[in-house]
């Protein structure tokens, strides 16, 4: 990991601890670190950037944190309010909590008035656990189910407004549908029929377990978004499936990959459907 990102992570941890503000690592970096913890293949999208969810009481507290981080060596981005820079490292800070978000779990940035969804932040961060940064600090980071929940929410927020970052959300979603619950570490892979009440092809059983585990933490609003995501994307020519399968050449190859994609989504859906 680049020294700049290690230094940036350490500075965020030090400053937020001094202020008594809770921060949680989210985004592609936490996915990369969790995969390394599990001994899994590297995710397709490695990053030198870090995203933090920041639980604050109000916007004044967030502004104070940002000021302290600038005093500690960060430089503010010229146009993006939530972005700070340290050397080659980029850190995004996204506040959440009753004092800054709207009733539909969104925040509106004071300067740009840009509206950003924070659906799933409360429940994902409530389940956060320690995560070690090689050569750096130990941070609180969302779990894989929490990361997946946030990626689905981000995908559903970005895709309709044409934000190209939906493709990186899709990459994170597909990675964990394929890699979650490695058989040598999660014995539930052999009990999926009993757990979800449905026969699942063994290669897809990890996705079914991911559905179960996401359902355990998803609140009411996040649950609705996941269900809408499944309804809209579990189709042969949905954007999510096309992103994964459509890059292949040849109709036969595309059809085979598309069937695999739909199988993984169906397995996840079967697990998520067990939510009470």
pLDDT reported for residue 245: 83
pLDDT reported for residue 162: 92
Q: Is the pLDDT of residue 249 over 60?
A: no
Rounded mean pLDDT of the chain? 92
Per-residue pLDDT tens over the stretch 155-212: 999 999 999 999 999 999 999 999 999 998 899 999 999 999 989 999 999 999 999 9
Distance of CA 249 to the CA centre of its chain: 30
Q: Is the pLDDT of residue 73 over 80?
A: yes
**What separation in angstroms does the CA of 37 have from each of 225, 242, 257?**
29, 30, 28
How far, in Å, CA of 166 to CA of 177, rounded?
17
Q: Rounded mean pLDDT of 205-234?
A: 96
Q: Rounded mean pLDDT of 235-247?
A: 85
pLDDT reported for residue 79: 84
Which letter does DSSP use for residue 190 in this model?
G
Domain assignments of the chain as residue spans, ordered by start: 3-142, 170-272
The percentage of the chain sitting over the pLDDT mark of 70, rounded to a whole number, equals: 97
Q: Is the pLDDT of residue 226 over 60?
A: yes
Per-residue pLDDT tens over the stretch 127-159: 999 999 999 999 999 999 999 999 999 999 999
Strands (E), the chain: 22-26, 49-55, 75-76, 83-86, 89-96, 106-108, 115-117, 129-132, 138-141
Q: Rounded mean pLDDT of 205-221?
A: 96
Q: Rounded mean pLDDT of 49-75?
A: 95
Q: Is the pLDDT of residue 230 over 60?
A: yes
Q: Rounded mean pLDDT of 48-53?
A: 90
Q: Label residues 173-183 b or e (16+ Cβ within 10 Å = b).
A: bbbbbbbbbee
pLDDT band at 110 (very low <50, low <70, confident <90, very high): confident
Domain 3-142: which topology?
Beta Polymerase; domain 2 (3.30.460)
pLDDT reported for residue 276: 60
Q: Rounded mean pLDDT of 13-36?
A: 94
Of 44-53, 78-87, 183-192, minimum mean pLDDT range = 44-53
Q: Rounded mean pLDDT of 256-264?
A: 91
Nearest to 181 by CA among 148, 133, 134, 227: 148
How far, in Å, CA of 143 to CA of 86, rounded?
26
């Amino acid at each position: 990991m680049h020294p700049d990102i290690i230094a940036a992570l350490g500075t965020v941890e030090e400053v937020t601890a001094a202020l008594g503000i809770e921060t949680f690592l989210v985004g592609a970096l936490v996915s990369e670190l969790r995969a390394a913890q599990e001994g899994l293949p590297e995710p397709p999208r490695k990053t030198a950037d870090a995203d933090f969810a920041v639980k604050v009481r109000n916007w004044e507290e967030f502004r104070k944190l940002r000021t302290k981080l600038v005093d500690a060596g960060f430089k503010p981005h010229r146009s993006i309010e939530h972005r700070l820079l340290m050397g080659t490292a980029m850190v995004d800070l996204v506040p959440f909590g009753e004092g800054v978000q709207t009733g539909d779990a969104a925040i509106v940035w004071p300067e740009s008035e840009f509206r950003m969804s924070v659906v799933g932040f409360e429940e994902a961060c409530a389940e956060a656990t320690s995560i070690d940064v090689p050569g750096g600090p130990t941070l609180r980071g969302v779990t894989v189910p929490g990361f997946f929940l946030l990626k689905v929410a981000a995908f559903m927020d970005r895709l309709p407004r044409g934000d190209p970052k939906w493709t990186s959300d899709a990459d994170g979603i597909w990675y964990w549908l394929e890699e979650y619950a490695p058989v040598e570490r999660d014995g539930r892979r052999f009990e999926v029929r009993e757990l979800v009440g449905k026969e699942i092809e063994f290669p897809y059983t990890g996705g079914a377990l991911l559905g179960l585990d996401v359902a355990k933490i998803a609140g009411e609003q996040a649950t609705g978004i996941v269900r809408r995501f499944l309804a809209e994307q579990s189709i042969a020519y949905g954007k999510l499936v096309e992103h994964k399968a459509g890059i292949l050449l040849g109709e036969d190859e595309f059809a085979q990959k598309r069937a695999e994609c739909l199988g993984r989504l169906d397995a996840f859906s079967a697990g998520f459907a067990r939510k009470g």
